[in-house]
Amino acid sequence: MKDEYECVVIGAGPAGLAAALRCEELGLDVLMIESKERLGGIPLQCTHPGFGNFYYDENLTGTEFAERLLEKDEIEYVTEAHVSSIEYVSDLKKKVKVITPDGLFSLDTKTIIYSTGARERHRFETRIQGDRLSGVYTAGEAQTLMDVYGVMPGKRVVVVGSGDIGLIMARRFALENAEVVGVIEMQPFPGGLTRNVVQCLHDFDIPLYTQKIVKEIRGQKRVEEIVTADVDEELEVIPGSEEIIECDTVALATGLIPYTKILDEMEAEVIMDPVTRGPRVDENLETNLPGIFAAGNVLTINDYVDFAAYQGEKAAESARKFVEYDGMPSKDWIEVKRGKNVRSVVPQYISGDCEVTLNVRVKKPEPEVDVIIRETDERIKTTSVNPGEMLRLDISEEKLEDLENKITLEVRR
């Protein structure tokens, strides 16, 4: 490791790897830092396909996808390295402290690409009450156990949450002959991609219970049973709807939250988006702190690994520009506001003078609707929408003409 870099990439998952590779291509002096022993991030433990359809135009498993990215490994990197702090010294200098088995290092860098991914929502962030028992895992933890360590968590499993991770883990348990009693979802619709509902649940006869929550986990030492309850449209429990399901394992797939810890601890404040819980960025994926960019799931939770990789590349291109010009050009930023049926939009600021890709998540499913800029009535796309599938909208600059200081994105008929 040197004392100084043009770019430091923190986190070597799909976004970080794609970012570092692109930095290298663009001639930046880049260092990639990874906390685990191996590069690759979460896809390393994903033995199922569904990776790379866009990025490589091939359907790969997670492991294959990570390996494909790692084929070009001429990047300088360090593994088993924990970023302990980032100090924003000036717009051109950030100090990164790194703990590794070889020592404590302090590096100066002009730019940072923050691509640390997301953590799983844990039980205390859900409505689940009851006893504190063994046999409760987050879905990703269960996946790590099975596919990294070769350990079987339990035999009679309830999966909570029908996002992609929940669906995939339900199938994963079934493939090892565990009895998957069901997947429990509080919304009236499944949270994951349609292809996963079909391939993971229907093909394995695993029931999906919608508009239901787990109220309680009960048992003496290990989980013995759960108490479920039906919920109404407002997600309020319908009294008397409680039911008991016997199981020894609860796998929680109740959502991902950007892991922003080191940014949160910085003395200089990085402004976060209360909905995505990741940093607010402009179309260059730059945060409010000059030279600090974000990409991948720490920015917004992506359904496809490919999108995380694209964000990594975008951040790398921005970092390149930053290094070349000693800062990004000043612009009149237009804030993208959330209108009807729009839950989140990333980036949160656009300039209107170039093509931009918006990552948009809706609140509820709707068939055949228009995505519209309210202020100009400009129609961007007509499509059916579903909270489980992030919309990736490429908007040409012609559609962004004559905008004021804000626009509102709406999804409507």
Partner 1 sequence: MYKIAVIGAGITGSAIARELSKYENLEVLLIEKNVDVGWGATKANTGIIHPGHEDDPESHPLRAEVCVRGNRLWHDWAEELNIPVKWPGELMIAKDEKELDKLKKYRDIGKKNGVPELRIIASEDLRELEPKVNEEAKFALCAPTAGVIAPWEAVIALVENAVDNGVKTHLNTKVEDISVEDGRISSLVTEDGEIEVDVIINATGLFADEVSEMAGKDNFEITPRKGQYYLFDEDVEEKPDKLIHPTPTEKTKGVYAVQTVEGNLMLGPTAEDLDRKSKADRSTSEEGLEFIWKHSKELLGELPSKNRISKTFAGLRPEPPEGRYRIKSYDDIFGFVNSAGIRSPGLTAAPAIAHKVKDILIEDLNIDLIEKEDWKAEREGITRLSDQSDRKKRNMIKENSDYGRVVCMCKEVTKAEVLEAVDRIRKIGGKVTLDSVKFRTLALFGFCQGSYCRSKMTEILSEELNVPMWEIEVRGEGTPYGIGDVKTLQSSEEG
- Give me the residues that bind partner 1 (CB under 8 A), please: 35, 80, 82, 84, 97, 99-104, 106, 119-120, 122-125, 127, 129-134, 138, 140-141, 144-155, 176-178, 215-216, 218, 220-222, 259, 261, 264-265
Q: Cβ of residue 112: shortest distance to partner 1, in angstroms?
A: 17
Minimal distance in Å, beta carbon 284 to partner 1?
A: 28
**Regarding beta strands 30-33 and 4-10, do their DSSP bridges make them parallel or antiparallel, or are they unpaired?**
parallel
Which C-beta is closer to partner 1: that of 212 or that of 215? 215
- Do the Cβ atoms of 48 and 171 come closer than 8 Å? yes
Q: Please, which residue, 24 or 34, has the CB nearer to partner 1? A: 34
C-alpha to C-alpha distance for 225 and 134, rounded to whole angstroms:
12
Which CB atom, from 130 or from 327, has the smaller least distance to partner 1?
130
Name which of 173 and 304 has its Cβ closer to partner 1.
Answer: 173
| Burial (0-12, 13-18, 19+ Cβ within 10 Å), 226 | buried
d(CA 387, CA 275): 14
Instruction: Decide whether 148 or 354 has the Cβ nearer to partner 1.
Output: 148
**Beta bridge mates, 10:** 33, 114
| CB of residue 202 to partner 1, shortest distance in Å | 22
d(Cα 9, Cα 324) in Å, to the nearest integer?
18
Output the smallest distance, CB 304 to partner 1, in A.
22
Smallest distance from partner 1 to CB 15, Å? 17
Q: What are phi and psi of 212, to 5 degrees?
A: -135, 145
C-beta closer to partner 1: residue 187 or 318: 187
CB of 167 to partner 1, least distance (A): 18
Is the distance from CB of 67 to CB of 75 less than 8 angstroms?
no
Handedness of CA 182, 183, 185, 188 (dihedral sign): negative
Given the complex with partner 1, which of 235 and 354 has the nearer CB atom?
A: 235
Q: Output the CA angle 314-315-321, nearest 5 degrees.
A: 95
C-alpha–C-alpha distance, residues 9 and 20, integer Å:
6
Give me the least distance between CB of 188 and partner 1, in Å please.
22
